[in-house]
C-alpha cells in the first residue's frame, strides 16, 4: 500500500504519518508538503531515515508537484494540506482559496487521471457554521453554512470533492472533525498558545468573554478515525468526528493555568474575533456505528498529557516561536535537494 499524504509536516498530518508507519508496518508513505510557516521538518525528524518514508517538497496547487508525489502510482491520497488558521484567513483569504480550494481540485484531478486511487479529504466541523447553546450537535446531514473565510474555503473544497465523486464516480471520502489538540500543534492555536505563553509568563489573550464552545478531540483519536475511513469508509460519504467534549474556552485556559501553577492574572480578555462562531459540537454516531471507531482519551487526561508534552519539548516550541525552525528547515531540505 502506497499512500500519498499531503501536509504531513503540519500538526495533524505529522501525527497521522507517525501513526500509520507504527500501525501499518508494510505501508509506504510519500509526504507532499510545501513547508509553509506551519510545516516543520522537526515534527517528523524521527522518520528521516525510515526507508518507508519519502518526502517531496511541493505545492498541492501545482500539477507538476502533485505528479512528482504520485510517481509510480498511489493507492490513496490523504489530503491534510491546508491553510488552517481562522485568524489568518480574516487578515488575508487568498492563500486559503489557493491551497484549500485550487489545491484540492488539483489532487482530485490527479486521482482521476490515475484511475483507481482513493482520496480521503480532511475537512472540519467549521463548514457547518455556528450552533446556538441548545442546538443539537452537527450531523453529516446538517447544511453547510460557513462563516469565516477559512471555513468557506474548506466548504468549497468539500463541495468539489463530493461533486467529483458523483460526476466522475471517483472513490472519494470526506472527514469532518472538531478542534484537535496534542503534540506538535503550532502555537498560534488556542491550547498550545496558552500553554507556551503561560510557561513564558506572557499574557493569555482570551477573545471576548471566552464563553465560546469547542468540541475538543485528541489528535491521535482523530488520526485513528482517518485511518478507519481510509480502510473502511464508504465512497462518496462524509464522516463526522468529535469526542463529546464541549468546553468553554475560558475553562480550558483556567485549567492550563492551574496545571502549570501560573498566576491567574496572566489571563486577559481581548477584543473578540469578527464573526466568532459561538459553539461547535459534533455528532460522530455514524463513524462510531459504521467504522467501530471510538475516541480513547478523555479531555482532562488528554489536556494534562499535552501540557506535559509541551513542558518536556520546550526546544521544539521555542524554535517555532523564535522562528529558528525555519533554519532547521533550510539545512534539512538542502541536504535532500528538490
Ligand atoms: P497545519 O496548519 O498545522 O498544517 C498544514 C500543513 O500543510 C503544513 O505542513 C503546511 O506546510 C502544509 N501546506 C500548506 N499549504 C500547502 C500547499 N499548498 N501544498 C502542500 N502543503 C501545504 O494544519 P493542521 O491543523 O494539521 O490541519 C490539517 C488539516 O486538518 C487541514 O485540512 C485542516 O483544515 C483540518 N482540520 C484541522 C483541525 C484542527 O483542529 N487543527 C480540525 C479539523 C480539521
Ligand atoms: P483556534 O485554536 O484558533 O481554533 P478555531 O478558531 O478553529 O476553533 O481557537 C479556538 C477557540 O479559542 C476559538 O473560539 C478562538 C479562541 N481563541 C482565543 O480566545 N484566544 C486566542 O489567542 C486564540 C488563538 C483562540
pLDDT value at residue 337 = 55
The pLDDT tens digits for 13-41 are 999 999 999 999 999 999 999 999 999 99
Q: Is the pLDDT of residue 338 over 60?
A: no
Closest approach atom of ligand 2 to CA 207:
19
Per-residue pLDDT of 251-296, as tens digits, reads 999 999 999 999 999 999 999 999 999 999 999 999 999 999 999 9
Residue 121 grid coordinates: 479529504
| Residue-level pLDDT at 59 | 98
Q: To which residue does cell 446556538 refer?
A: 132
What pLDDT, in 10s, does the model give residues 125-166?
999 999 999 999 999 999 999 999 999 999 999 999 999 999
Task: State the pLDDT at residue 69.
Answer: 98
Count other C-beta atoms under 10 Å from residue 300's C-beta.
Answer: 12
3-state secondary structure (DSSP) of residue 73:
coil
Distance from C-alpha of 317 to C-alpha of 115, rounded to nearest angstrom: 41
Q: What share of the chain is helix, strand, coil (3-state, %, to 5)?
A: 45, 15, 35
- Residue 249, ligand 1, Cβ within 6 A: no
Question: The whole model's pTM is what?
Answer: 0.97
Atom of ligand 2 nearest to the CA of 276: 14
Q: Where are the alpha helices (DSSP H) in the chain?
A: 11-23, 63-69, 86-91, 94-96, 104-114, 149-168, 190-200, 219-232, 249-260, 285-291, 299-312, 314-321, 325-336
pLDDT 10s digits, 76-99: 999 999 999 999 999 999 999 999
Cα 218 → chain centroid: 11
CATH fourth-level superfamily of 2-181+217-244+275-296+326-336: NAD(P)-binding Rossmann-like Domain (3.40.50.720)
| Residue ID of nearest Cα to ligand 1 atom 28 | 80
Read off the DSSP letter of residue 179.
Answer: -
pLDDT, position 334: 65
What is the β-pairing status of strands 172-177 and 213-215? unpaired
Mean residue pLDDT of the chain comes to 96
pLDDT of 335 reads: 66
Check whether 331 has a pLDDT greater than 90: no
Nearest 5°: the CA angle 333, 335, 338 is 55
53-57 vs 28-33, strand pairing mode: parallel
Q: Ligand 2 centroid vs 205 CA: distance in angstroms?
A: 10
Which atom, in ligand 1's list, is nearest to the CA of 185? 3
Residue ranges of domains in the chain: 2-181+217-244+275-296+326-336
For residue 224, pLDDT beyond 90? yes
Nearest-ligand number for the alpha carbon of 206: 2
pLDDT tens track for 168-210: 999 999 999 999 999 999 999 999 999 999 999 999 999 999 9
| Cell numbers placing 189 | 492555536
Quickly state the pLDDT bin for 313 (edges 50, 70, 90): very high
For residue 236 the three cell numbers come to: 462518496
- Give the residue whose CA is nearest to atom 12 of ligand 1: 7
Tell me how far apart the alpha carbons of residues 24 and 36 are, in angstroms, rounded to a whole number.
28
The contacts of residue 118 (CB under 8 Å, 6+ apart) are: 75, 76, 77, 111, 171, 172, 173, 230, 235
Amino acid at each position: 500500500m502506497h499512500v500519498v499524504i499531503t501536509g504531513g509536516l503540519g500538526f495533524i498530518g505529522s501525527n497521522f504519518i507517525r501513526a500509520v508507519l507504527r500501525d501499518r508496518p508494510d505501508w509506504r508513505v510519500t509526504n507532499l508538503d510545501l513547508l509553509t510557516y506551519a510545516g516543520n521538518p522537526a515534527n517528523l525528524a524521527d522518520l528521516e531515515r525510515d526507508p518507508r518514508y519519502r518526502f517531496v517538497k511541493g505545492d498541492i496547487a501545482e500539477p507538476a508537484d502533485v505528479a512528482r508525489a504520485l510517481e509510480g502510482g498511489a493507492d490513496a491520497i490523504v489530503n491534510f494540506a491546508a491553510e488552517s488558521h481562522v485568524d489568518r484567513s480574516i487578515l488575508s483569504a487568498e492563500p486559503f482559496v489557493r491551497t484549500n480550494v485550487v489545491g484540492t481540485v488539483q489532487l482530485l484531478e490527479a486521482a482521476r487521471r490515475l484511475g483507481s486511487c482513493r482520496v480521503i479529504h480532511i475537512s472540519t466541523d467549521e463548514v457547518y457554521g455556528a450552533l446556538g447553546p441548545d442546538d443539537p450537535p452537527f450531523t453529516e446531514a446538517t447544511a453547510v453554512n460557513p462563516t469565516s473565510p477559512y471555513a468557506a474555503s474548506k466548504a468549497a473544497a468539500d463541495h468539489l470533492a463530493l461533486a467529483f465523486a458523483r460526476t466522475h464516480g471517483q472513490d472519494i471520502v470526506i472527514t469532518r472533525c472538531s478542534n484537535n489538540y496534542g503534540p506538535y500543534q503550532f502555537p498560534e492555536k488556542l491550547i498550545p498558545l496558552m500553554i507556551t505563553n503561560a510557561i513564558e509568563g506572557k499574557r493569555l489573550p482570551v477573545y471576548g468573554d471566552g464563553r465560546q464552545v469547542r468540541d475538543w478531540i485528541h489528535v491521535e483519536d482523530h488520526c485513528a478515525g482517518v485511518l478507519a475511513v481510509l480502510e473502511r469508509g464508504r465512497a462518496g460519504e462524509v464522516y463526522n468526528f468529535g469526542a463529546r467534549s464541549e468546553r468553554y474556552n475560558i475553562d480550558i485556559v483556567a485549567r492550563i493555568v492551574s496545571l502549570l501553577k501560573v498566576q491567574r492574572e496572566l489571563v486577559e480578555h481581548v477584543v473578540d474575533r469578527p464573526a466568532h462562531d459561538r459553539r461547535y459540537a459534533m455528532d460522530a454516531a455514524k463513524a462510531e456505528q459504521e467504522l467501530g471507531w471510538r475516541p480513547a482519551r478523555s479531555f482532562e487526561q488528554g489536556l494534562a498529557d499535552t501540557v506535559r508534552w509541551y513542558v518536556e519539548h520546550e526546544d521544539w516550541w521555542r524554535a517555532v516561536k523564535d522562528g529558528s525552525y525555519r533554519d532547521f528547515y533550510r539545512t534539512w531540505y538542502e541536504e535532500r535537494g528538490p
